[in-house]
Structure 1
Amino acid sequence: MRSTAPHIVIVGRSGVGKSTVGFELSRRLHRPFFDADNHPDRAPEHAGEATDDEIVACRDWIQVICSTSMPAVIAAPWVGVDQVLRSRDEQRWGEPHWIVLLEADDDVLRGRIGERGAPASPAADADADDRLAALRAAAAVEVDTGSHSTSEVVDRVAQAWSRRSENLPAR
């Protein structure tokens, strides 16, 4: 039987800390962790770099994970989650879900990514403002990872999750 406890979906740009925060949050909440970085067909971090097939593969991966019966923490690129939100197809997305948007400024991301290259800037994507607006509207909580340690970010998300669980505002 499908659980009614929401999946926690961690989204953000490359280098923002989705994998690190997602893993630590999953440990704290005793949930399985799924990371799109470990998916063989993962899409690049923004639509300007992703092929249609990569976006579809990422979107379908999110669907499979979200349709599982055990609530999980999922780290996914913003383009994959954005595509699911744009589709408005709840069967594809799976219900329920709770979105965490992680953000950091470009200088912080460049410092973190280093050899992997420049962060995928929303400005490089013609639809970036719309994508970010859709994610912000869907996010239960937003955290700036550039000005907080991993532990502080996980604390903030866990506190917001706790307030959500107690039916209090998450923001």
Structure 2
Amino acid sequence: MGIDATTPGDGDVTLVFSLGAARSLADPAAAFDDARRWSRHVGIVANEADRVAAFVRDHGVDNDYELTNWDKWGTLADVREESTAPRYVFVGTTRADERVATETGYEYLPVTEAAEKAGWELSEPGATGADGDERGGADRGGGRLARLRRAVRDAVSRLR
């Protein structure tokens, strides 16, 4: 894990989005570009680094955080340890996101509130993606059942 120091902003915030929060944005690339004007570092974390990599690639988003197969907890702790920003904000979508933010020393901001404050548009509900913890519904917490459903869905989609 590391922070890409080649593109840091000069703001006083290290801003981290959950993958679900990033998927909730109507135009993630524009929102990230805007956030870079007032943030020192901007990026996305999730329990599945390959899903973040795919999102970054598909949406043209620059992620300041080098992800490995580390979960949100470990990644957020590493980012906080490596960043020199005085403020750390985690933008998420679930109570689990709020809990991980609080436990790792971040301010938590729901994506709806972050979008409202920053003037970012949100996508339509239900259009945010395939991860259980990344969209509404019974598996919002991203637990074992959500991971199992994702694994089965991914395996079926590869067969098509």
Q: What TM-score does the superposition give when structure 2 sets the normalisation length? A: 0.39
Structure with bigger helix share is 1
Higher relative contact order (CA 8 A, sep 6+): 1
